[in-house]
Structure 1
Amino acid sequence: MASLLLRLASHVLYAYTGPPASPKSSNPDLSGIFATTASPAHALEQLLKKSGGTWPPSPTFDSSWPAPLRVYHATYELVAPIFPVLESSTSGAENRQTIDAMRARIRGLLSGDPTFDAAQCSADMKAVLSVLQDAEAGCWSGYNNQSMQSAMLGFCACVCFLRHAYRWGVSPVVREAQIETSLSFPLELDEPWLLLQRYFGFTSPGGGLSTCLYFNTRGVDTNFKPFYSSVHGLPQLHQKTADWDARLFLETEHRSLPMYRLIAETISACSSFAGECPLDALTSLKEANTVFQDTYRFFFENMKDENISHALWLAYLQGYTGWALPGADGVVVNGVSGGILPVPPAAEEALHLPVAQRDWLRSLREYDIRAKVQSAIERCADAPESTVAESWQGMQDELQKMVQKLRLWRMGHMSRMISYEGVHRPERVFMTAGRSIPPEGEVSDETGMVQHLRGVLQERLIQTV
């Protein structure tokens, strides 16, 4: 389970690669070190602006959309009750029939096929595309920028659900869908998606944490209950598992927003001074550390079987949000997270993260505060006033505390995820979050898959220094 919080911590902390060579001086000038052209504070402001004014985002749903878009919600209402099943079939022939029937239903509903007697689902594609193109131009009549942005977030979540339902045909996902290597979507799902990709700035054909969860929330007042549910109509334990799965991601981000602001404030304060570390910067960083600790405590205190069933999570949530089909420009899409390596390849990051999120993370990566602080310490080493170096050493100490917290996070993540990923599901091919289906012959059973996952997580832990 990965979130923007982990990515942020990674980019703040991983960008540091050791002290750069820098001259020492008895009268050090630090202005060049801490100057910045990419303002994290501005990038964070833009992230909020493009998320409906809040973080996590504030989507609104069907009643807030222009009429041509509401057919997608109407389609969801007819598809959602029949998408999940309590008992999975292990018969390839039976599953093939189920998948094909679901795809025919979605195509028929959106195309207005009279066989389905659901005129409320028929998409007027000319009107749909006109509405979405107007959104790109920022000119929805009767909407301000924030209300239009919120409506687009919710609409994206709806189309995302329908694309996943079409992709898998049934949930829990089954081998018959997993082993497919290509799939043609109806134009009613493809053409809006292309515009949504362009509008939000991501490339994945399946979406990611943003489109599956961040854009699909009813907000803090409902504990971030998902609006579009992949467990519609299933028993209470399924509902609770889905609700807590979403809540862990979304409330973690909600609790992290003060930390994001404090880190931006820390950088702004550092950038304003040329000598001793400003007290405001050190104070903000200490407060950010406290928020980080409280946030990861919330995450791990609630990531437990009592809230998120081991047996049900992998079957109904990890599988549904996977993809494992050739994606944009031939990139194979391996699930929703796209990995949280220290500096993921730009193409991989663009698959899953909208541009506003990438810009925020990029501003932190480019600023590279750990390297700047270390460089300040190096330059101040021979300064007559030793308190100058000591003040920057205080910043370095706080950053190192964040590294240790991230290490603890990763160790906890590794130990908890193993039990969730190791559940046996006979109807499916072995698949893990963030990687989906491994190459043929690489993993033979769940134990092998767990060992692979453990190795990946251990590698990330080693990198966290």
Structure 2
Amino acid sequence: MTKKMDGIKALPEQHEVVSILEELIHKDGAGSWPPRANHTDSTWPVALRSYKEIYQELVLLLPTATPSLNDQVNTTRIANFRLRFRDLLYKRVNLAQVKQLLEAADADRWDVFPRDVYNAFYCCIASSRHAYRWATIPVVQVAQLEKEVDLPIELTEPWKYLQRHFGCTSESGNNMSNLVLNFDTEGRYMYKINTGMYDLVTSSEETFARIFYNVEMLGVPVYHDMVLAIVTFARGEKAACARHVANITAQLRLVLGSYFDHMHDQKIARSVWLSHIQGFFAWGIGSYDDASGECIKFDGLSGNQALLFQALDAFLGIEQYLSPRDQERNVPARQRALCRALAKYSFRQMLSETSNDKNEAQIVHDFGEIVKRLRVFRAAHRTRARVYLSQHAPERLPMTAGKSLLEPNIDQSLQFLDEFMVRRLSQTV
């Protein structure tokens, strides 16, 4: 991966898609990809360390092995957790000093607030917001039915700076903030949800989170070859272009294989995923908008926010799954820019399936292989999603992280979700 990372940094800068990828890696990735997140306590400015300490202290109170089905008991548990969280933030966080650091970053003073620490802090605040929002794991019905939650100012003020920097508006964060950045520079999993629970829960949680980190790690050569395929095609170097498209085809086997190897009951237990993992990444609440006079609701995290699959769709000339509104809310701006550039320079439709040029014929063939593998992946994901979402969870209403509350009946909910997956499968051509 290091060799491919170096290869990206050495790409010729005269092409738009190259400069956009390099800017993404430099600014959002802190010079690396997956993005470098420095979670080492001693490297953080002192004013920020309390956030991490408070999360680690309170996360012990978050999970329970057997959730209560009593709404009154759950309401009290949630209120007590939030009260303690709010109190600790008020007592230990110097918000004025925190804002000074964030303003330094806004002014490109990365000597004061290094980018890799900034990334880790983004994850810390995002994880803290989700912990405060749900206040208990498994997620329970009384929390799901909330319309608004008054988050402490210590979690809302930094969020404004962070989201403005990354170019997102969602209050829930995204796949990058909560999952990919939740691994340190050595690949260790940091902000856990089920601390203190039995091994089946904790191992399933980390394995699930690591899928998204691994997708980006294994995707580095794919980004490298997508960009070089575009550059070489623009130069008329079809033999070189064919090599890069062939590389993508081969590398995709490893990326998708990582998903198939981990998203099954032996690695991520169906008995605990819905109850102890999925719910934490949902959101389903909003805030009052002064301009419109309405409450704007935000959904939570979705695998559809993963950059690699959005980039592949763009490179193939396939319509993006997420709506423009959801992209602007949940996908960091520089990731959106990369996908727009890949779509702009997508050359698949310029190729002829009946070309006598052997290189062009090879490119057409390998594009077909890429599409075939994506279709297999999406078909498998459709099947596995149904199995995992069908698990018994009497403490909650049917809900996904990415689409919030669904239909009251689980069968209706699964049918609703299946329609989205079938449509995406039909678009993958």
Pairwise TM-score range, normalised by the shorter structure: 0.7 to 0.9
Q: How far has the Cα of 1:392 moved from its partner? A: 2.7
Counterpart pick for 1:83 among 55, 62, 66? 62
2-structure distance, mates of 1:320, 1:462: 30
Other-structure match for 1:351:
329
Q: CA deviation at 1:225?
A: 3.8
Counterpart selection for 1:303 from 263, 279, 291 = 263
Asked if 1:68 is matched to 2:47, the reply is yes
Q: Does 1:264 align with 2:227?
A: yes
The 3 A distance-change label for structure 1 pair 290 and 338 is: closer
In structure 2, the residue matched to 1:126 is: 96
Partner residue of 2:347?
Answer: 369
Find the counterpart in structure 2 of residue 315 from structure 1: 275
2:336 partner amino acid = R
Q: Is the 8 A contact 2:148 2:287 kept in 1?
A: no
1:32-79, Cα deviation, whole Å (9 max, x unpaired): xxxx99722222212211212222111012322111111101111221
Instruction: Select the residue among 80, 93, 101 that pairs with 1:101.
Output: 80
Report the alpha carbon displacement of residue 311 of structure 1 after superposing the two structures with TM.
1.5
CA root-mean-square deviation: 2.1
Distance in 2, matches of 1:257 and 1:185, equals 36
Find the counterpart in structure 1 of residue 397 from structure 2: 429
Aligned residues of 2:123 and 2:177 also touching (Cα < 8 A): yes
Quote the Cα distance in structure 2 between the aligned partners of 1:68 and 1:423.
43
Unmatched segments (≥5 aa) in structure 1? 1-35, 113-121
TM-score, normalised by the number of residues in structure 1: 0.81
- Counterpart of 1:459, as a letter, is R
Asked whether the equivalents of residues 218 and 225 of structure 1 are also in contact (C-alpha less than 8 Å), the reply is yes
**Match for 1:400 among 368, 390, 395?**
368
Identity level (%): 29
Where 1:294 maps in the other structure, the secondary structure is helix
CA contact (8 A) 1:263 1:288 kept: yes
Determine if contact 1:423/1:446 at 8 Å carries over to the other structure: no
Preserved CA contact (<8 Å) 1:58 1:150 = yes
Q: Which residue of 2 aligns with 1:152?
A: 118
Matched, 1:187 2:153: yes
CA distance in 1 between counterparts of 2:392 and 2:86 reads 33
Cα deviation, 1:193-227, whole Å, max 9, x if unaligned, reads 101101121111111111111111134x4xx4420
Q: Report if aligned partners of 2:129, 2:155 keep a CA contact under 8 Å in 1.
A: yes
Does the CA contact (< 8 Å) of 2:230 and 2:346 recur in 1? no
> What code does the residue aligned with 2:400 have?
T
Is the contact made by 2:300 and 2:403 (CA closer than 8 Å) also made in structure 1? yes
Residue of structure 1 equivalent to 2:5: none
Quick check: 172-181 or 55-64, which moved more? 55-64
SS in 2 for 1:319: helix
Whether the aligned pair in 1 keeps the contact of 2:168 and 2:332 (CA below 8 Å) is yes
- Residue deviations 1:243-299, cap 9 Å, x none? 1001111112211110110111100111122xxx52111111101110012221221
Is the contact made by 1:325 and 1:332 (CA closer than 8 Å) also made in structure 2?
A: yes
The question of whether the paired residues in 1 share the 8 Å contact of 2:278 and 2:401 is answered with yes
Q: Say whether 1:209 aligns with 2:175.
A: yes
Instruction: State the shift of 1:360 in Å.
Output: 1.4
Q: Which moved more, 1:391-400 or 1:166-175?
A: 391-400
Q: Deviations over 1:404-431 (max 9, x none)?
A: 1111110111111111111121111110
SS in 2 for 1:279: helix
Structure of higher CA gyration radius: 1
Is 2:39 aligned against 1:39?
no
1:237 aligns with 2:200: yes
Change (3 A) 1:57 1:141: closer
Structure 2 stretches lacking a partner, 5+ long? 1-12, 290-294, 311-318
Whether the aligned pair in 1 keeps the contact of 2:104 and 2:112 (CA below 8 Å) is no
Is 1:290 aligned to 2:286, yes or no?
no
Name the CA distance, whole Å, in 1 between partners of 2:395 and 2:49: 34
Match of 2:302 in 1: 337
2:292 aligns to what? none
One-letter code aligned to 1:368: S
Kept in 1, the 8 Å contact 2:98–2:158? The answer is yes
- The verdict on how the C-alpha distance between 1:328 and 1:266 changes in structure 2, with shifts beyond 3 A counting, is farther
Alignment correspondent of 1:136: 106
Q: Secondary structure of 1:215's match?
A: helix
- Could you tell me how far apart the structure 1 residues matched to 2:109 and 2:244 are? 39
CA distance in 2, matches of 1:436, 1:299: 24
Q: Counterpart of 1:332 in 2: which secondary structure? A: strand
Report the Cα offset of residue 395 of structure 1: 2.0
Aligned residue identity for 1:429: L
**1:97 CA displacement:** 0.5
Give the partner amino acid of 1:395.
I
Q: Is the 8 A contact 2:397 2:408 kept in 1?
A: no
Q: Which stretch has the larger CA shift, 321-330 or 92-101?
A: 321-330
Amino acid at match of 1:91: N
Using the alignment, how far apart are the partners of 2:188 and 2:421 within structure 1? 29
Aligned-residue offset at 1:339: 4.6
Counterpart of 1:414 in structure 2: which amino acid? Answer: R
Select between 124-133 and 450-459 the one with higher mean Cα deviation.
450-459
